[in-house]
Amino acid sequence: MEDDPGAAGLMLKRLTTAGYEVELAHDGQEGLAMHAAGFHDVLVVDHEMPGYDGLEVIRTLASRGPLPPLVMVTGTGDEEIAVEAMRQGAGDYVVKDLEARYVDLLPAVIEQVLKQRRLAEEKQQAQLQRDAALEDLQQAHGELTVLYTQLREARDQLS
């Protein structure tokens, strides 16, 4: 989501070259509509846009459910905005510079955000498997306790 045509074009070119399939939204409202209509692996959201700014986009997405992997792009000197975006759930942020070198950082930042998401999902899956195994162990323990009690009662009857 980028309202500046020049910046949008640079990002589109760089990300396409890096192997990404890119859909461009020219403002937050259009980006929210595009996200609602389809699945996106990651969102790159500019902070200053007409209509919904980047933080409003993040808040709106968060109100709809779990946030997708998201990178906030801020103007020079907007570190406070970037920190707030991270607090709201953005995976990372990139600060725009006048020479547009930030565009070259985007593929690596996106990969890092996607990696963070994969690791979080793997951790959640491992926790679910651990919980299921623990439940199985507790059930087996209960069954063994019943068997032990039955054996003890049988032994006592034989005595």
Position 146 in a domain: no
Q: Does pLDDT of 76 surpass 80? A: no
What are 91's two structure tokens?
């995976």
Residue 30's domain comprises 5-118
Those residues whose C-beta lies under 8 Å from the C-beta of residue 149, and which sit 6 or more positions away, are: none
Q: Is residue 19 part of a domain?
A: yes
CATH number at residue 9: 3.40.50.2300
Is pLDDT above 80 for 78? Answer: no
Assigned domain for 153 exists: no
65 pLDDT tier (thresholds 50, 70, 90): confident
Split into its structural domains, the chain has a count of 1
Residue 155 domain-assigned (yes or no): no
> Which SS3 state, helix, strand or coil, does residue 53 take?
coil
How confident is the prediction for the chain on average, in pLDDT? 92
Q: Please give the share of the chain, as a percent, with pLDDT higher than 70.
A: 98
